[in-house]
Amino acid sequence: MPSDYLHSLYTGFIPRRERSVDSKTLWAAICSITLVQWGHFWCGWLAWICDSFDFFSVSLSVTNLEKQFNKPPGTITTAITLTLLFRSLGAIIFGVLSDRYGRKWPLVANLLIAAAFELGSGFVQTFPQFLAVRSLFGVAMGGIWGLASSTALENLPVEARGLASGFLQEGYAVGYLIAAVVNLTLVPETSSGWRGLFWLGAGLSVLAAAVRAVLPESELFLRAKAVERAQGHTTVNKTRVFMHETWEMLKRHWILCCYAVLLMTGFNFLSHGSQDLYPTYLTTTKGFSQHDATVATIIGNCGAIAGGTIAGWLSQYAGRRLTIIMFVVIVGAFIPLWILPSTFGALAAGAFCIQFGVQGAWGVIPIQLNEMSPPAFRATFPGVAYQIGNMVSSASAQIEATGAAHLKKVTTIVNGEPKLVANYATVQGILVGVVAAFVVLCTIVGPENHGSRFEKYKAAFEEGAGRDEEMPDVEEVQDSADASSRAASIREVREKDLDV
């Protein structure tokens, strides 16, 4: 309800003392993680690495794709835009499948489909074929984040989820880092050239699918489904029930849904605006070789990995929103170092600091979205919010390429005539600065359910939930309300079936 959302605005940025996690508690929580829980976490992390590797294969190949298809950068980036546009469709499809049928097989199918289109990307011969395959790949790619985050986080102890969230999210930076290393070392040495980068990405996705296939289903998901079967819900028209309860969720949480989309729009502009054309920015505006641009990209991703891990850990103590704000402020502070220098060392340092801030803020997002999600939609809600934000920000690469092409910069004088190049530095600096301010504002006015216990959904769904000795927290009351709404939905659909 709107009142639930507005109430959460006044809970403060720093978590209450009883929710704080000291180092001993955190270490005890990490030690309590079972082998299966570790398997789920690392599987989700690997899936997210594959997602990133596949996506950034295009960003790292822009120069080679220009030569292959004889197109300018602004046209080549259409492939990036289409991939991001279609990701929201994939998030809806695979998120719904995961919330209904489990975390395991929908993710396996998702990864295999992504591998097929990634493999196809390396065999195309014309630019329209490339755009078509990348669009279809966007659908497959869209489902992975929601499924990977729910698989990795929902079964972990509450006290470890902040650190785990940061480390999970930096699978994205690790995937970009691996792709950059491959592009730097293997691609120039192979006869297949840029195509080999896509073929390797397909192989990694198949490996991730195989790992998920041998792991069991999520324990939390199985418990929720067991409760439904115990209550006799297997005889109900499940499709009608799911659609009805989705509608009820949207009516109850519409402000939360709108807020999540706005927040993820800002975050995706921040990420894609600082990453997608960074190698092109260094080679075009700064005049570096493709080798040096790739090395700088690797350095930036090292900063991203460090930032995300530190921010995830810090959010467990300082709260989710305050941590996000702190790291976005770091982004704003280092924009000058990112765009003004001309030497490799200074620009690489700027890339490290910018990505430390960008991916540090991003490191809190998986657990922030999972904690604020309505319990019955923990795979659908984060994934769809994230990918709709991706859809809105999908044109970021084209905005930068078009803006840089129109905002020329003089580099040298050749035969008395100024040599003009696309000015990516100014365009990216303005875009990232504006978006950083927007993200800070959205974070300040947003909710925070720090320490939300996902497993309370099961207890709330059972009739005996009221026997818990502890007084419920705000988010536990919300979980109970969502469970009651779900039960009401099932009763209403059953009554309609009986009337018919």
pLDDT band at 203 (very low <50, low <70, confident <90, very high): very high
What confidence tens digit (pLDDT) does each residue in 250-285 have? 777 788 888 999 999 999 999 989 988 898 899 888
**Cα–Cα distance between 398 and 274 in angstroms, integer?**
13
CA 138 to chain CA centroid, Å, is: 14
Residue-wise pLDDT tens digits, 167-182: 887 888 899 999 999 9
pLDDT of 246: 67
**452: Cβ contacts below 8 Å, ≥ 6 apart:** 158, 371, 372, 473, 475, 476, 479
Quote the tokens at residue 213.
């296939």
Lowest mean pLDDT among 72-81, 187-196, 327-336, 462-471: 462-471
Whether 239 and 100 have beta carbons less than 8 Å apart is answered as no
Cα–Cα distance for residue pair 249/227, rounded to 1 Å? 20
Residue 443 contacts residue 324 (beta carbons within 8 Å): yes
Q: Which pLDDT does position 151 carry in this prediction?
A: 84
Reported confidence tier of residue 438, pLDDT bands at 50, 70, 90 = very high
Does the pLDDT value for residue 496 go beyond 60?
no
**Model confidence band, residue 239 (pLDDT cutoffs 50, 70, 90):** low
**HSE-up (13 A, CA, CB side) for residue 184:** 17
Residue-level pLDDT at 162: 73
What is the per-residue pLDDT for 103?
Answer: 85
pLDDT over threshold 50, residue 213: yes
pLDDT at 494: 44
Whether the per-residue pLDDT at 459 is higher than 80: the answer is no
Closest listed residue to residue 318, CA positions, set 462, 443, 138, 199: 443
Give the Cβ contact number of residue 406 at 10 Å: 10
In the chain, the number of structural domains is: 1
Residue 480 has pLDDT above 70, yes or no: no
Kind of pairing between the strands at 408-414 and 417-422:
antiparallel
Rounded to whole angstroms, the Cα distance separating 270 from 434 reads 9
430 or 28, higher pLDDT: 430
Tell which wins on pLDDT, 365 or 4: 365
First to last CA, the chain: 32
- Look at 156-160, 277-281, 422-426 and tell me which has the smallest mean pLDDT: 156-160
Each residue's pLDDT tens digit, 439-456 = 999 999 888 876 555 555
Q: Are 221 and 103 a contacting pair, CB within 8 Å?
A: yes
Element (H, E) at 412: strand 408-414
Residues 361-370 have pLDDT tens digits of: 998 887 888 7
Q: Which pLDDT band holds residue 495 (cuts at 50, 70, 90)?
A: very low
Q: Is the pLDDT of residue 412 over 60?
A: no
Burial tier of 6 (Cβ tally within 10 Å: 0-12, 13-18, 19+): exposed
Which residue would you say has higher pLDDT here, 222 or 3?
222
Note whether 200 and 60 are within 8 A (CB): no
Mean predicted confidence (pLDDT) in 341-364? 93
Highest mean pLDDT among 351-360, 382-391, 414-423: 351-360
Residue found by looking up tokens 């469709």 in the block: 89
| pLDDT value at 315 more than 50 | yes
Q: Are 279 and 59 in contact (CB under 8 A)?
A: yes
pLDDT on residue 443: 93
pLDDT score of 365: 86
Other CB atoms closer than 10 Å to residue 444's CB: what's the count? 13
pLDDT band of residue 10 (cuts 50, 70, 90) is very low
Q: Select the more confidently predicted residue: 192 or 450.
A: 192
Q: Which pLDDT belongs to residue 199?
A: 94
Q: Which residues are CB-contacts of 217 (< 8 A; sequence separation ≥ 6)?
A: 102, 103, 104
pLDDT at 466 over 60: no
pTM, two decimals, is 0.74
- Per DSSP, the three-state class of 8 is helix
What is the per-residue pLDDT for 461? 40
CATH code at position 357: 1.20.1250.20
Higher per-residue confidence, 15 vs 248: 248
Percent of the chain past pLDDT 70, that is, above it, reads 78
Question: Residue 136 and residue 132: Cα distance in Å, rounded?
Answer: 6
Q: Identify the three-state secondary structure at position 70.
A: coil
Q: Could you tell me the residue range of the domain that residue 164 belongs to? A: 2-499
Q: Provide the pLDDT confidence category of residue 472 given band limits of 50, 70 and 90.
A: very low
Q: Mean pLDDT over all residues of the chain?
A: 80
Structure tokens at 52: 């990133």
The CA-CA-CA angle for residues 228, 233, 238, to 5°, reads 105
CA dihedral 60, 65, 66, 69 (to 10 degrees): -170
pLDDT tens for 35-62 read 999 999 999 999 989 989 998 999 888 8
The Cβ of residue 210 has, within 10 Å, a number of other Cβ atoms equal to 12
Q: Which residue has the higher pLDDT, 336 or 236?
A: 336
- At residue 493 the predicted structure's pLDDT band, cuts being 50, 70 and 90, is very low
What's the Cα-to-Cα distance from 39 to each of 68, 139, 155, rounded to whole Å? 41, 26, 11
Q: What CA–CA distance (Å, rounded) separates 285 from 126?
A: 28
Is pLDDT larger for residue 428 or for residue 411?
Answer: 428
Counting residues of the chain whose pLDDT is more than 90, the rounded percentage is 35
Q: Rounded mean pLDDT of 451-479?
A: 43
